[in-house]
Amino acid sequence: MKTEQAYFNEAISIQQYMDNMSMLKEDSFRIYEGFEVPTNDGFIDLLKGKQPKILTITEDWCGDAMLNNPIIRRVAEAADLDMRAVLRDADTDLIDRYLTNGGRAIPIYVLLDNAGQVIGKWGPRAPELQENVVNKRASLPDKEDPTFEDAQKVMYGEIREENISNKQFWTFVYEDFKKHVTAALR
């Protein structure tokens, strides 16, 4: 079985991944250009000291990846960390190690120490954003309702727009990532 370190070694840089995106690229870069990493909370200093590598399991059609990847990339850049990306659907063996409630939810960020051992993970979504999605889904009509598909498309559009424009959502991502990574590194 291929190790996470082997996947990391074969992965492309997060910059290359984002530059080559074919879907949601413009929106992802809007977040990337707009997000400023806090520098007064000690997180970047912790990361600089520990130097974990970040293996990102992602796909460019994913709205959560559109939101999370640019924020985590900014964190990685601020701390001079090596962050690389693999496509979830190219080899499902890796994502199957990191299922969320039994599903292949993405993005997932796997943290590796300098020996290539997994020391933590985060993803696919901050709890506040999960609550937002759950609340929006609760307002959808029943799946058998003929208006369900249209209503679901509208809901996904609303979520996408909120992810792009609501900077509080960006903070939720940063804070939850910081919480989980800090716990993994201490």
State residue 126's pLDDT score.
98
State residue 85's pLDDT score.
98
In a domain? residue 159:
no
State residue 113's pLDDT score.
97
- Residues 69 and 85: their CA atoms lie apart, in Å, by 10
Domain count, the chain: 1
pTM attached to this predicted model: 0.96
Which residue numbers in the chain have pLDDT < 50? Answer: none
State residue 10's pLDDT score.
98
Q: Does residue 124 come out as left (phi exceeding 0), alpha (psi in the -120 to 50 range) or beta?
A: alpha
In a domain? residue 145:
no
Degrees, nearest 5: CA angle 43-38-18: 90
In a domain? residue 69:
yes
CATH of the domain at 47: 3.40.30.10
What residue numbers bound the domain in which 99 lies?
A: 4-125+167-185
